[in-house]
Amino acid sequence: MDSFKEIGKALGILIAEQESYTYADKLAYAPSKDLALFYLKEALRDLHSLLRKGEFKNKVAAAELSKINFDQIERELENFDKIKDRRVLRERTSSIAARALAFSAKLKGVQSESKEV
pLDDT digits (tens, 9 = 90+) for 76-103: 999 888 999 999 999 999 999 999 999 9
* Burial letters 10-46, b for 16+ CB under 10 A, else e: bbbbbbbbbeebebbebbbebeebeebbebbeebbeb
Alpha-carbon distance of 80 to 59, in angstroms, equals 30
- Domain extent, residue 69, equals 5-116
Alpha-carbon distance of 90 to 100, in angstroms, equals 15
pTM for this entry: 0.85
Tens digit of pLDDT at every position of the chain (117 positions): 457 999 999 999 999 998 999 999 999 999 999 999 999 999 999 998 888 888 788 888 888 888 999 999 999 999 888 999 999 999 999 999 999 999 999 998 765 555 554
Domain count, the chain: 1
> Going by C-beta distance under 8 Å and a sequence separation of 6 or more, which residues neighbour residue 72?
5, 6
Q: Which amino acid is at 53?
A: K
